[in-house]
Every structure is written in structure tokens, then in C-alpha cells.
Amino acid sequence: MKILVVDDDLHIQRLYKEEFEEEGYEVVIASNGKEAIELFDSEVPDIVTLDILLPDVDGIRLLRQMKEKRPKVPIIMSTAYDYRDDFAVWASEAYIVKSSDLDELKATIKKMLTKE
């Protein structure tokens, strides 16, 4: 299973990569929206973790773009700030507040991937 991690923080990128690889996933990393789309197309991940606050593009737009391309790919919003209040939309397991404890994130990934 391939995970596309979209986050501009280098350390978090490394942390996620190592943690996910330990779980047995293949990890592909994008630092910005442009890379994210490119890799989404070329690498065809099975799941995406997406940070809302990206340097070049709004994470939600990216979310929409990806969903338009391949709607069945689960996308987990992983972000530092809880936007859930603003859109009830995000009151779903697709939305994760970043935490140093990655258990929740990992469980969500597993859950979403087993849906298929």
C-alpha cells in the first residue's frame, strides 16, 4: 500500500515516512501542492495524508482536485489547526489534528484502507 504524504515540514515528513514504513507501507512525499498533484498522478497512492496549510496552495483545493481525479482514494486531512468548526464536513475520520502520538493517524489509515 502506498501512502502519499503531503506536508511542508521536513521533520514531520521524515517522522511520518519512518513510522509508516515500519508499518509496512510504501511512502511517497510531497512538500507542496504542485508536487502533491504530480505524485498523485504518477505514483497512484492508495491513500493520502494532506496538510491544510501548505505554502503554495490551499489544502482543501488540493483535496478537491485529488477527489476529482480519483474519488475513491481516501484522503486524510492531517493538520495542525482544527478547522472542523468551520465546516461540519470535516467531522469525519478523514480529519486528524496532528499530534506527536501517531496512533490515531495510523489507525485511521488502516481503517480507510480496509474499506476497499
Partner 1 sequence: MDIAYKQKIAEIIFENIRDGIIMLDRNSKILAVNSAIEKWTEKPVSDLIDKDCTDVFHDITGICPHCASKVTFETGEVNIVMQKGNHKDIAYYAELSAYPIKGDTGELTACVVFIQDITERMLCHEEILGLYTEVTQTKEYLEGFIENSADAIISSDQDGIITSWNKGAERTYGFTKEDAIGKFLPFVPDFLIDPEYEMTHRVMDGEVLKDIETMRKMKDGTIITVSLTLSPIKDAAGKVIGISGISRDISKKKRVEKELIRRNQELSRLFFISSAMRGTLELDRLLRMVLTAVTMGDGLGFNRAILFLFDEKEKILKGAVGVGPASPEEALQIWERLSLEKKTLSDIMRDIEIGPLRKDSFFDRLSRGMEIPLSEETILTKTAKEKKPFNIQDVKKEPLSDTVLIQQLGTHAYAVSPLISRDKVIGVLWVDNHFNRRPITDEDMRFLSGFSNHITTAIESARLFEQVALAEQELENIFESISDMVCFITKDYVIKSINKAVSKRLGKPHDEIIGKKCYEVFHGMSSPWAKCPHHETVETKKAYVEEVEDHYLGGTFITSSSPIFGTTGEFIGTVHVMRDITELKNLQEQLIMTERMAALGEVAARVAHEIRNPLVSVGGFARRLEKKLDGNLKEYADIIAREVERLEEILNEILGFVKETRFVKEIVNPNILIEEVISLIKSEVDERGIVIVREIEEPTEIYVDPNRIKEALLNILSNAVQAMGNNGTLFVKTYVKDNAAVFEIKDTGMGIAGEDLPFIFDPFFTTKKTGTGLGLTITHGIIEGHKGSIEVESKPGAGSIFRVFIPLNNIMDEK
Binding site for partner 1 (CB under 8 A): 9, 11-12, 15, 18-19, 53, 63-64, 67-68, 71-72, 74-75, 80-82, 84-85, 88-92, 94, 97-102, 115-116
If the CB atoms of residues 12 and 35 are measured against partner 1, the closer one turns out to be: 12
H-assigned helices in 1-116: 10-23, 33-43, 59-69, 103-114
Q: Which amino acid is at 98?
A: K
CB 45, min distance to partner 1, A: 15
If the CB atoms of residues 42 and 68 are measured against partner 1, the closer one turns out to be: 68
Contacts of 41 (CB under 8 A, 6+ apart): 69
If the CB atoms of residues 10 and 26 are measured against partner 1, the closer one turns out to be: 10
Quick one: CA dihedral 12, 88, 36, 74, positive or negative? positive
Residue written as grid cell 508536487: 35
Q: Residue 2 and residue 43: Cα distance in Å, rounded?
A: 8
CB 10, min distance to partner 1, A: 9
CB 49, min distance to partner 1, A: 12
CB 33, min distance to partner 1, A: 16
Q: Residue 3 and residue 76: Cα distance in Å, rounded?
A: 11
If the CB atoms of residues 39 and 76 are measured against partner 1, the closer one turns out to be: 76
